[in-house]
Amino acid sequence: MTLIETSSPWYSRLYSRVLSFFRFVGPGWLVSVALMDPGNYETALQAGSQYGYKILWAVWWSVVITIIYQVASIYLGLYCEEDLASACRQQYPRWIAVLLWLFMEATIVTTDMVEVTGFAIAIQILFGWPLYGGVLLSCITTLMLLALRFVGFRTLEVLVLLLSLLMTISFFIEWGETGTNTSQFFEGWVIPRIPSGSALVVLAIVGTDVVPQNLYLQSRLVKSRDVKVEDRKEAFISNVIETVIPMLLAFILNGAIISLATTDFHENNEFSSSLLSSVGLTNVCTLIKQVYNNKRIGCILWAISLVASGQSTAITATYTGQIVMEGFIRLRMAIWLRSLLTRCISLIPAIVVVSVAGERGANTAILIGAAIPSATLPFAVIPLVKLISSRRVLKEKVIPRWCQVVLIILSLVLIGLNIFLIVAAPGRHTLRHLLSSGSFWSIIGIVLTAIIGSLYLVFILFVSFYPLQEQME
């Protein structure tokens, strides 16, 4: 047998390796679409239109950090008997597991609201429907796409991959028409800066790129392939490569949106600073037509990309919700019912926002909704790092000490940055700005912030230092 293998042609061995790799293709694309959702579109638009390329570095490092954590999630999924949610249920007291589950459910509903709003805006651009009509339509279209699951889960994976490619191609066409200031692009990529007033945008970039529920999702998805114990190393390498490729593609897509917004809006002398501060999903099509002399093709490409984005992320959000619910509280629900439940909960705030707040209010709501996941990030990152660093849990497969140190430092920096951006950073929509008026309600807000913040930090410390058990159930 050995003689046959060593004498086989190189192209035969290459073909065998390629086939082996494609066996693992799918989970990485399902996870990476969270980096291409309408929330990313909104944050990239506002980043480019208001600050040019100055905070492109935040997108890059958020993607790099995401890759590191997703690799850790893959490792846990392959070398631990349980996925992240199930392991948390077994390792933490029930009340902690329930709280972790509620945090993740709140994050999923929040991101779903952003996806619904983005889809509704795309339908309005394409067909002229009112926003609430697009919001209601999103429920039907998502259920129709989820029905493809009965053909096979791989069909859904391929569908998400095709939708991702569709939105990427749409933006590449637009990017090619506008061009890029290369020197400024690379300067914004390499040099970290937080311009005055950009705290919420940077926070939203972190929230839309370093997605906490994705860590729970991928630790389960890697188990969807039948992997023998002796093939785990090959499976790990293939899954890592298969995850890194679409995530780098997501960075390029976000960079393209920032570049488009910078070239078309930020560097356009016809637009006032007040108009630039209001650029978002709801009015970008109007501005694109203004820049390109009422040519509709740019709007159509934008809307098609937005539809693909909203639908692909809605599919993955449904499966993520199913995974965290089943893992944390052992409650399983039909996938269509789970999708309907999540969508019904997110429909209410989405309809209120698009009906009452108006265009600018909808843009701000999308941005705030995109930033919220950054607050729940510790409740995915901390359990993940603890589990893969525990010899009690992974035995001889525990990660090396230097990896543990890197992950711990990275987690501390990320949590510290989030707290700073939420509380102390200058700019609109931050607590420092909202609580600085000195009024009675401002004082009440400071007291409530102190109480909630203290409970938040205590919970983080409890999750961090609670001792893990030696045996999994």
pLDDT, position 153:
61
Q: What is the largest CA-CA distance in the chain?
A: 83
Find, among 55, 60, 17, the residue nearest to 35 by Cα. 60
How wide is the angle at C-alpha 120 spanned by C-alphas 115 and 121, nearest 5°?
A: 100
Find, among 246, 268, 265, 269, the residue nearest to 257 by Cα. 265
- The stretch 145-153 carries a mean pLDDT of 63
Dist. CA 163–CA 36, nearest whole Å: 10
Cβ neighbour number for residue 456 with a 10 Å cutoff: 14
Does residue 359 register a pLDDT over 80? no
Entry pTM: 0.86
pLDDT, position 148:
61
Does residue 166 register a pLDDT over 80? no
How wide is the angle at C-alpha 420 spanned by C-alphas 46 and 365, nearest 5°?
A: 35
Find, among 160, 165, 141, 82, the residue nearest to 393 by Cα. 82
Q: How far apart are the first and last CA of the chain?
A: 41
Cβ neighbour number for residue 391 with a 10 Å cutoff: 11
Dist. CA 52–CA 47, nearest whole Å: 7
- pLDDT band at residue 470, thresholds of 50, 70 and 90? low
Give residue-wise pLDDT tens across range 37-59.
Answer: 888 888 888 898 889 899 999 99
Higher pLDDT, 435 or 362: 362
Lowest mean pLDDT among 258-262, 339-343, 380-384: 339-343
Give residue-wise pLDDT tens across range 198-232.
Answer: 877 888 888 888 889 999 999 998 887 777 777 78
Helix-helix angle 94-127:335-352, to 10 degrees:
70
Give residue-wise pLDDT tens across range 5-31.
Answer: 455 676 666 667 776 666 777 788 888
Does residue 366 register a pLDDT over 90? no
Dist. CA 220–CA 80, nearest whole Å: 11
How wide is the angle at C-alpha 400 spanned by C-alphas 399 and 403, nearest 5°?
A: 85
Give residue-wise pLDDT tens across range 270-299.
Answer: 777 776 777 777 777 777 777 666 566 767
Does residue 429 register a pLDDT over 60? no
- pLDDT band at residue 151, thresholds of 50, 70 and 90? low
Q: Domain-by-domain residue ranges, the chain?
A: 2-465
What is the DSSP secondary-structure string of 202-233? HHHHHHHHS-HHHHHHHHHHGGGS---GGGHH
pLDDT, position 2:
44
Contacts of 172 (CB under 8 A, 6+ apart): 256
- Rounded to an integer, what is the distance from CA 308 to the centroid of its chain? 15
What's the fold here for domain 2-465?
Answer: Amino acid/polyamine transporter I (1.20.1740)
What is the DSSP secondary-structure string of 292-341? TTT-SHHHHHHHHHHHHHHHHHHHHHHHHHHHHHHHHH-----HHHHHHH
Cβ atoms of 97 and 328 within 8 Å: the answer is yes
Average pLDDT of every residue of the chain: 81
Give residue-wise pLDDT tens across range 54-93.
Answer: 999 999 999 999 999 999 999 999 998 889 999 999 999 9
Dist. CA 72–CA 330, nearest whole Å: 24
Find, among 64, 148, 136, the residue nearest to 340 by Cα. 136
